Amino acid sequence: MDRIYKFLVLLPMKTDKNLCSTKRYYGKLLDGKLDFKGIEYRRRDYPEYIKDFQAKLADKLLSGNNIVEVYENLRICYKMINQAINELEENKIPVKKLIIKKILRRSNYRILAAHYVAALQLKLNGYNLIPGETVEFIYVNSRHDNPMMRVQAWKLYDGRSYDKRKYIQLLLDAAESILIPFGFNRRDFTIRISQKNLELYSSKNNEIFSKDEALSFLSEKQA
């Protein structure tokens, strides 16, 4: 890392949560630009909407002038997550922003992975994809018993509803990468299914740091 950071957040290693990784981090440079490595923003298999959300979340979190203000921004970050979840649940996101892109590495797969299923759908409809090409698809029912019904190739998309729960999970993946060093727990976001709609809420809202709480928290950490 040869850049000069105003804030730099090293994320836990996937193999050992107690250690930080130099291959997974994000930060804000002195010129105000954001820098990401090893997280969803850099991955092709996360849709545009999720990556844009992650960038906005990181930007808001690191918009403070010092660490206390960063902790104060957590309350706003949680509100942003709830708002994004509501937008997904209420079908307010253009489906084009939910396209997932993944490279087809081989002609045959032993497992019916999502992008391979999309490739098979295209093949059945006269498209001939070869290894190295990018497959675009939408999750429509990721928990369907039949793997062929879980996604729909973008070229064949017929306007059906996207899988809200799946995209909410992808959203929480992105939020977790940004906020896990600050105590984020995706389990705090509980899904309640009612007869009329899907109601999502966060039990964490009343636990985000105020300025005094942030100062107290930092004092405890430094003690």
**Higher-confidence residue: 216 or 196?**
216
Whether the per-residue pLDDT at 26 is higher than 90: the answer is yes
Q: What's the pLDDT tens digit per position in 154-197? A: 999 999 999 999 999 999 999 999 999 998 888 777 543 233 34
- Tell me if 152 sits within 8 A of 140, measured CB to CB: yes
Q: Is there a single domain that holds both residue 110 and residue 39?
A: no
39 part of a folded domain? yes
Q: Is there a single domain that holds both residue 52 and residue 139?
A: no
63 part of a folded domain? yes
**pLDDT value at residue 212:** 57
Radius of gyration, alpha carbons of the chain: 20
- Exposed (0-12), middle (13-18) or buried (19+): which is 28, by Cβ within 10 Å? buried
Q: Is there a single domain that holds both residue 12 and residue 67?
A: yes
212 part of a folded domain? no
- Tell me if 112 sits within 8 A of 146, measured CB to CB: no
43 part of a folded domain? yes
Residue 114 belongs to a domain with what CATH number? 1.10.132.60
The total of structural domains in the chain comes to 2
Q: Is there a single domain that holds both residue 179 and residue 73?
A: yes
Residue 56 belongs to a domain with what CATH number? 1.10.132
Q: Is there a single domain that holds both residue 129 and residue 100?
A: yes
Q: What's the pLDDT tens digit per position in 31-58? A: 999 999 999 999 988 999 999 999 999 9
> Among 73-77, 109-113, 152-156, which is the least confidently predicted range?
109-113
**pLDDT value at residue 187:** 77
Report the percent of the chain where pLDDT is more than 70: 84
Q: Is there a single domain that holds both residue 118 and residue 191?
A: no
33 part of a folded domain? yes
Average pLDDT of span 218-223: 49
- Tell me if 73 sits within 8 A of 56, measured CB to CB: no
Whether the per-residue pLDDT at 22 is higher than 80: the answer is yes
Predicted model pTM: 0.82
Q: Give the whole-angstrom CA distance, residue 208 versus residue 95.
A: 32
223 part of a folded domain? no
Q: Is there a single domain that holds both residue 24 and residue 68?
A: yes
**pLDDT value at residue 205:** 46
Whether the per-residue pLDDT at 86 is higher than 60: the answer is yes
Q: Is there a single domain that holds both residue 50 and residue 131?
A: no
219 part of a folded domain? no
**pLDDT value at residue 204:** 44
Q: Is there a single domain that holds both residue 74 and residue 104?
A: no
Q: Is there a single domain that holds both residue 86 and residue 18?
A: yes
Q: Is there a single domain that holds both residue 23 and residue 124?
A: no
Average pLDDT of span 143-157: 95
Q: Is there a single domain that holds both residue 13 and residue 73?
A: yes
3-class DSSP assignment, residue 211: helix
217 part of a folded domain? no
Domain of 137 in residue numbering reads as 95-156
Query: What is the rounded average pLDDT for all residues in the chain?
Result: 85
